[in-house]
Structure 1
Amino acid sequence: MITDLSQWTARPTPTSAPMAGRHVAIVPFDRADHQGPLWEAFGGIATNDLLYHFGWPRMEEATDLGAIIADMNAHRGFVTCVFTAPDTGLVMGMASYMRIDEKNGVCEVGCVAHGAPMARSPAATEAHHLMARRVFDELGYRRYEWKLNNANEPSHRAARRLGFTFEGVFRQLEVKPYGNRDTAWYSMLDREWPVVRRAMEAWLDPANFDADGAQRRGLKQIRDDLYENGS
């Protein structure tokens, strides 16, 4: 497919400026404010298990977590977003814009971690909806990536559910504390985003949930229906 990019210009860098939804409020990472609450949201010392596939050094306390995230923001180009509850400010999780390539309009969402307060909840879906909206709708990026340890099956499921497309596995890409890492690559393109966005919005609509909070239609089902109907 030939795409006319004669008018293309480099895109602005994504920021962690606040984003607000019904189920989640996104704020910039602040080490003093967030290292302790993130540590607690991730289960204290069990943070090491939750973040195992990141391949980070072992952490013993909240300051270790804060130091790693702060260093990645200061020296490795991470832009970390913290997920909080809109009504209480409770810290629930995080994700980062990373591997940002403004020239080509490409960036990755990575180091995704949902603590117990938001795991498998509307807040998790809405957080990724808001982050993708910033990349595509506000900044005009062409490609949004999700990469993961190929052994991390829950992350595979999350990427597929959210509408990312599997592209393949880079074998023996890195040496991590746990050993070899084969990295699976997923992407979402600007031309795919409109259907993905509509599906997310339809899934998040309160009418999609019954009185007990159970979904009436799954996110993938809604997206598949939109594609089938040519939307």
Structure 2
Amino acid sequence: MAILNVFGQEVGADVEGWTTRAFPEKVVLKGNYCRLEPLDRDKHGPELFDAYGKAGQKLWTYLPVGPFNILEEYLEFINQLNETGDTVPFAIIDKETKRAVGTLCLIRIDQASGSLEAGYVAFSPELQKTIIATEAQFLLMKYVFDDLKYRRYEWKCDSLNGPSRRAAMRLGFKYEGTFRQVVVYKGRTRDTEWFSIIDKEWIYIRKTFEQWLDERNFENGIQKRGLATIRENLLN
């Protein structure tokens, strides 16, 4: 049913009790297979540089930064991330090896509207297509929605970045549209695809992750049911 103001104009629903949300903190987020730690130049930098080196320069094709040819260049980038006022970077730690194997960041943080974005998603070959890769995403989402009570979690990628697009859809993000010629980076034009999860969707998306991560969903390290299948069953 349409909501009309005193002038007869259709408007959005009231957000009852809404207050500006807290800025994300540099916290440790613990899972069964990994943990997220605040990204530290000296602690994580050398391990990440080594892990990323195994992927070669193609890892950085769709990111606005990199490739990094020497360790000092990557360490300086970590410094820049930590000095940026609207970015909270995390290192993904494999609990078994205790090594840093990737990064996730919270960026474009809008406290007044309760919206932020996952950015600088860089997964090394040690992390790609593993249980840890999925759990790390879940841990950050859970922090955003359950602890910080944000309303909107965004994912954006180059429209030509098929793996990132498929990852967003697999994780439960909804495609919202394409912004054409919105960015020039590395001397190239970029159309950017937008995806999001909003708070009212988080209830079943959280259950999807919990069921997928349950050890009973795996046999010899192979999943029995994928995220999409579990999510569809919960919605039907």
TM-score range, shorter chain: over 0.9
8 Å contact 2:55–2:124 — kept in the other structure? no
| Cα 1:209–1:57 shift into 2, 3 Å | closer
Deviation per residue, 1:194-224 (Å, 9 max, x gap) = 10000001000000011x2111001110001
Segments of structure 1 that go 5 or more residues without pairing to the other structure are none
Counterpart of 1:120 in structure 2 is 129
User: Which range is displaced more, 186-195 or 117-126?
Assistant: 117-126
2:81 aligns with one of 55, 72, 75: 72
Is residue 155 of structure 1 aligned with residue 164 of structure 2? yes
Find out whether 1:25 has 2:35 as its counterpart. Answer: yes
CA contact (8 A) 2:60 2:67 kept: no
* 2:225 aligned partner: 217
Q: CA deviation at 1:44?
A: 5.3
Retained in 1: the 8 A contact 2:29–2:139? Answer: yes
Number of aligned positions between the proteins? 226
| Closer/same/farther in 2, CA of residues 118 and 45 from structure 1, 3 Å limit | closer
Calculate the TM-score normalised by the size of structure 1: 0.93
- The alignment's C-alpha RMSD in Å is 1.5
Q: Match of 1:25, SS?
A: strand
> What pairs up with 1:126-137 in 2 under 5 angstroms?
126-137=135-146
Q: 2: CA distance between counterparts of 1:43 and 1:76?
A: 28
1:45-83 C-alpha deviation (Å, 9 max, x unpaired): 82x320221122542112212212321331352111100
- Change in CA separation of 1:177 and 1:201 when aligned onto 2, cut-off 3 Å: same
| Pick aligned residue for 1:9 from 11, 19, 22 | 19
- Equivalent of residue 171 in structure 1, options 154, 164, 180: 180
Select the structure of larger CA radius of gyration. Answer: 2
Structure 1 residues 7 and 114: alpha-carbon distance in aligned structure 2, compared to 1, 3 A threshold: same
Could you tell me how far apart the structure 2 residues matched to 1:163 and 1:191 are? 13
The sequence identity of aligned pairs, in percent, is: 36
CA contact (8 A) 2:211 2:217 kept: yes
Q: Identify the residue that residue 87 of structure 1 maps to in structure 2.
A: 96
**Please, which runs of 5 or more residues in structure 2 have no aligned partner?**
3-11
Cα 1:77–1:221 shift into 2, 3 Å: same
Superposition misfits of 4+ residues, deviation over 4 angstroms: none
Secondary structure, in 3 states, of the residue corresponding to 1:192? Answer: helix
Please report how far the alpha carbon of residue 16 of structure 1 lies from its aligned counterpart in structure 2 after TM superposition: 3.2
Distance 1:22 1:50, change over 3 A: same
AA paired with 1:139?
L
Deviation readout 1:106-159 (Å, 9 max, x if unpaired): 000111111122211110111011000010000110000001111100000100
Contact 2:51 2:125 in 1 (8 A): yes
| Displacement after TM superposition at 1:6 (Å) | 3.8
TM-score, normalization by structure 2: 0.91
Separation of aligned partners in 2, 1:56 and 1:140:
30
Letter in 1 for 2:69: E
Amino acid in structure 2 at the alignment position of 1:35: G
Contact preservation (8 Å) 1:57, 1:177: no
SS across alignment from 2:109: strand
Contact 2:54 2:125 in 1 (8 A): no
Task: Please give the secondary structure, in 2, of the residue aligned with 1:144.
Answer: strand
